[in-house]
Every structure is written in C-alpha cells, then in structure tokens.
Amino acid sequence: MSKKYEALAGDIIRMVGGAKNVDTLHHCQTRLRFKLYDESKAELEALSKLEGVATAINKGGMIQVVIGLHVADVYEEAVKYLEPGGETSQSPAVQEQKTDRAADKEKKKQNPFDIATSFISSIFAPIVSALAGAGMVKALLSVLVAFHLIDTAGHTYIIINMISDAAFAFLPILLAYTTAQKLKCNPIMAATVAGILVHGTWGSLVAAGESVTLFGFIPLYLVAYTSSVIPIVLVLLVQAPLERWLNKVIPGAVRLIFVPMFTFLIMGVLALGILGPIGAMVGQGLSVVFLWLGTNASWAPPLIVGALFPIMVMFGIHHGIAPVGTMSIMQLGYDAIWGPGIVCSNIAQGVAALVASVMTKDAKTRQIGIPSGITALMGTTEPVLYGVNLPKKYPLIAAMIGGGAGGLFAGITHTRRFAFGSSGIPAVVMYIGENTLQYFYQIIIALVISAAVSAVFTVIFAKKQKTKTETDKDARLEQPKEKERADAGKVFSPAKGRAVPMEQIPDAVFSSGALGICCGIEPEEGVITAPLNGEIVQLSDTLHAVGIQGENGAEILIHVGVDTVEMKGDGFAAFVKVGDQVHTGQKLLTMALDKIKAAGHERTVITAVTNSDDFSKIELTADGMVQAGEELLTLEK
C-alpha cells in the first residue's frame, strides 16, 4: 500500500545525510522524527521543497519532517532504506529523475503567467525582510530630510543613506543567491558572479566613461549594475545549465577547482559583454519613449508609470528609466514625467496590500502585508510587491488600476515635483515650488484618488476571489437549501477552553499552516470529543492524536499538546478505534492535563483541517472561552 511513497522516502533518507547518518527514526501522527549523528548534514530547505513534505524543522536536535496523515505509509518505506543494502535499492539519480518528471508534469498544468510570477515570487520572497528593513530606514531618512532635521551634506545623512541603500545596491548578489537556489545551482558561485557586476572596479570604469575592451577586441558595455534585477537573473538562467554541464565533463578529482574557474570566466564575460547590457538597453529604449510622450502627450507618462510601475520593478527596468526624471529636473527645474506616476503607484500598492491583509484570514499574509504595506506608503514597494501583491495577484491588479487613475489626474493637471527623494507620503513636500502650493495640492488629490480606487478594486476582487463563480444565478437559486448547505460545513470544539488562533499555536508546524488551516484550544478539562460526524481513520499508538474523515468532506486531525508523542501514551486513554463511526460530541480521548504539564509540554489541543485546499474558505468563528461542542470553524467549498 505504501509503495507509492517509495521515491519520497528515498529522497528524505538521502537528504538527512543517508542511512549511515540516522541514529533513530520514529513517527508520530504527522511527522517523521529523526535523531541524526550529524545534524548539519540534514538539508532542511531541500526537504521542505519535496512534493509530499509540508516542511522540515530542527527542534531541539530532533529533525522533524512533516508529512501529514500519510506519515505511516512514508515511514514504512523509509525504514527499508535503513536496512542493510536498503539505501542503494534506488540510486539518487533515479530519485532525481522521478522528481524532475513530477515537476515537469506540474509545470505543464500551469500557464506561462503563473510560471513567471511563481518564479519571480520565489526568488524575491527570501529577501523580503531585508528589503523591508532597508525601506523603513530609507523612509525614516526621507522624513528627517523633509522636515529639515538633518543636513543632506552632513555625515549623518551620508551614513544613514548608506545603511538604507546597502540591500538595494547589492540586490544582484542577494538575487543571485535565491535564484541559484531556485535553479538548483551553487548559490555561492552565483553570488560571486553577481559580485563581478557590482565590483567597485567596474563601477570606476563606468564612471570614467572610457571604452573598455577585453583581450583587446571584446567590447564591454559601460553600465552600472547596482540595484538591477534583469541582468543577474539572465546570467543565472545561463549559468545554471553551464554549471551542470561542467560538473559532468570535468573529472571529479579536479572538479572543485576547475568548475568555479571556468564558471567565473565564462559568466563574467557574458554578464559584462552580453547579458547585462540587454537590461540596460531595454531601459534606455523606454527612456526615449517617455521623453517623446512628455513632449507630445504630457498626460500619458504619469498614467503609464502609475499603472505599470510594479511591472517595471519586477523586471528591473525602472532603474533604466529613472534618469528621465533626473534629466527633466536638471534641464527644466521640475519633473512631470517620472515622479508623479511613481508616488501614485507606490501609494496604490501600499493601500491594496493593507486592504487585502485586513480582509484575509491568512496570518502569514497579515504578518507580511501590514508592515510592508506601510513601507510602500513610505516609498519602497519591493517588500509588498513580492511578499503580498504579486503572490495574491488581485491586489497587484487593483494597485495598477489605482496607480493609473491617480497618475492620469497628475498628468492632466501637469503636476510637478521639484526635488529628488523617496516616492512615498513624505515626498509630497517635493511638490512645493515655483512660489506656489498648486502642485502640492494636486499631488495630494492624486494620491487620494490612487488610494481610493485601489482600495475599492481590492475589495471587489477579494470578494470575487472568496465567492464561487456564479454562471447561472437563477439556476442556483432554484437549488434546494439542502444542496446549499452541502457546500458548507462546521467543525465544533473538541474541548472546553480558550480558543487560540492559528498563528498563536505554540508549534511552528501548525502555526505556519503547513498541515492546513487550524486553531487551538487551551483546555480546562481533559476530555476530547468528536468535532463533527465522521469515521475514525487514524489513531496514534501514543493516543495523543486522532484523524477523522468527516461526512462533509473535511479531513480533521486533532492533536493533543505539543511534542506529547514523547510521553508514549502516559496519561492518555482512547474510547474509539480506527473504523469507528462517530458523531459530534462523542468522547474520543481523555488526557491527564497535570501529567502533560509535568512533562514540560504545552497542552494546546489543535484542530487542523488537513485538506484545507479542498475548501474556498475556512474561518475561525470562536472567540475567547468555548465549550466542547460549540462551533469552532466554518468551512465553505
């Protein structure tokens, strides 16, 4: 029965360092628990990416690989690899081929846009925190300058500006590392190649402006790559297959030296001579277009920038267009081409993310969306773009509509900025000039329009996202009420106590949602009852967890306490067995709360919907104290 998990088990054993590195292996209701001789050999990130694994963590020296309710089947196959000769029964090459085929099959199910957005999100997600922190420092600096609290010529400004710019100036190195992880090539070598692009010597050559040739005949295009995105991604798309090929053709005895050497030489030349210049040329081409628009259709640039700025940021081409605003100020004394559209776009993105975060029940989205949304309002949108708006898609579309609307107003009214700085709320003071407050009032109106429009469309799109598509409203209304109720369900509290939201559950696996949407109960009594009608499909040997297949289609896992598997059943008693039909409120388990506390474990009773993806909406309806049998969760298909 467990044969279909054979490949997954083999991958897991290999990624914890192989059979020889496993001291002990056992499992609880949801996780494989490894005690390893050398914990450093466990590839936790790679394990977490395996199809069939929710996540992998190191908790107190115990490597926990979270599988879900099928953990027993995976365990059955995993122990075979720990037997003599077991690990070689399937080679890593075979496992890799199976994994690659599964990945290819999954990719075929996705459309090109989904693949592209997934790729961009995955390479930016790990660096969101760095961008958010740097963005907040930059926003603080803008406020200090706007209110004349520090001198832009002083050392304080220079140092704080340097601190805020670090993550952005060396963005290619950060992206090289995450992109390499996505493309499965060496991230350290990738970061080193990115270092070539942002090396101080190259920056000096660019600043000098004199032609540069390699070997006397290979011309290198003079462009600065700090803060760029496209060049390093293009480099890695070429470097990843090159690196794999070099590892195949270069003998193992000298591979450690010659693979990096050839990679650096080949990719360094390609990056500076071909791949890097492509992004710069795209930006320069767009600059020409915007200058023409600024002369012949002054309303168009703020509209286009306001609507499409997030797309420009995604592909890094905004760095190539930004000098248009600088040139305008230097030549005309004001910028009506670039600045107004950006600030409208940033405000729209921040508002869209904040509205989406308030409306969602996803704790992770709120955790990222609220602080990064505030950061966007202060002028730095990368964290909110890659952390919330792009992954969820509808806030991004709403923000583009709102940014375009505000930009259109700014363009029609010829709104102008007279200084440089962060394009957020503090930037409004940059629109004071020419001895008038006219443009100051205009940009405020434009920002209000951007915020209002993006907020309205975010609400509209969010509601559409949450509700089932209605292709025939009349036919639906004619369906019997029993049919409507079949699309919804309820899960009742399995214990008396205080309801705990998912993000506050004292177990990282459950609080992250790795095993599905869940909630907790801090119990006051040691009795666990059935939260819905259904069948007992699993009961742990240690009696601390039970799985129920509900009549409404929900797969429910009740997990008593945190790490209580270590108690080996002491203090627990079961009143049901696998295969029993149970009804809501029926006694399932009892637990000795004092023994759990004495053993040093949290007593939280966790109720998880392990097939959460089968439902369009799962909502915690309980708040504060609840009685066993009171409504806890509502489910909608």
Residue among 520, 575, 515, 564 nearest 542 (CA):
564
Q: What is the pLDDT, as a whole number, of residue 514?
A: 75
Distance CA 626, CA 631 (A): 8
Residues 50 and 32 both lie in one domain: yes
Residues 492 and 571 both lie in one domain: yes
Catalytic residues: 28
User: In the numeric block, which tokens belong to residue 392?
Assistant: 């969820």
Q: Is the pLDDT of residue 274 over 70?
A: yes
446-459 pLDDT, tens digit per residue, is: 999 999 999 999 99
Residues 301 and 367 both lie in one domain: yes
In a domain, 412, yes or no: yes
Q: Which residues are CB-contacts of 438 (< 8 A; sequence separation ≥ 6)?
A: none
CB 82 within 8 A of CB 22: yes
3 state DSSP class of 480: coil
Domain final position from 289, 310, 342: 289
Distance CA 396, CA 455 (A): 11
Distance CA 573, CA 575 (A): 7
Residues 331 and 447 both lie in one domain: yes
Q: Is the pLDDT of residue 162 over 80?
A: yes
355-392 pLDDT, tens digit per residue, is: 998 888 776 677 778 888 888 898 877 778 877 888 78
Residues 311 and 442 both lie in one domain: yes
Q: Is the pLDDT of residue 60 over 70?
A: no
Domain final position from 269, 289, 309: 289
91 pLDDT tier (thresholds 50, 70, 90) = very low
99 pLDDT tier (thresholds 50, 70, 90) = very low
How far is C-alpha 347 from the geometric centre of its chain's CA atoms? 21
Residue among 68, 72, 62, 66 nearest 42 (CA):
62
Residues 22 and 118 both lie in one domain: no
288-344 pLDDT, tens digit per residue, is: 665 676 667 778 889 999 999 988 877 656 655 665 675 666 566 678 888 899 999
Side-chain-facing half-sphere of 74: CA atoms under 13 Å = 27
In a domain, 163, yes or no: no
In a domain, 479, yes or no: no
Residues 350 and 386 both lie in one domain: yes
Summarize the confidence of residues 614-621 as an average pLDDT.
85
Residues 552 and 423 both lie in one domain: no
Residues 444 and 515 both lie in one domain: no
Q: Which residues of 21-56 are buried (b: 16+ CB within 10 A; e: fewer)?
A: bbeebebbbbbbbbebeebeebebeebbbbebbbbb
458-482 pLDDT, tens digit per residue, is: 999 988 876 643 444 444 444 444 4
In a domain, 586, yes or no: yes
In a domain, 204, yes or no: yes
Q: What is the pLDDT, as a whole number, of residue 194?
A: 92
Average pLDDT, the chain: 80
**Total number of domains constituting the chain:** 4
96 pLDDT tier (thresholds 50, 70, 90) = very low
Domain that holds residue 364: 112-151+297-467
Residue among 622, 608, 517, 594 nearest 557 (CA):
608
Residues 50 and 178 both lie in one domain: no
Residues 359 and 431 both lie in one domain: yes
CATH of residue 22's domain is 3.30.1360.60
Residues 443 and 318 both lie in one domain: yes
In a domain, 156, yes or no: no
Q: Is the pLDDT of residue 134 over 70?
A: yes
DSSP state of 67: -
Question: What residues does 63 pair with on adjacent strands?
Answer: 34, 58
Domain final position from 237, 261, 289: 289
CATH of residue 523's domain is 2.70.70.10
In a domain, 159, yes or no: no
3 state DSSP class of 158: helix
Distance CA 173, CA 424 (A): 26
In a domain, 164, yes or no: no
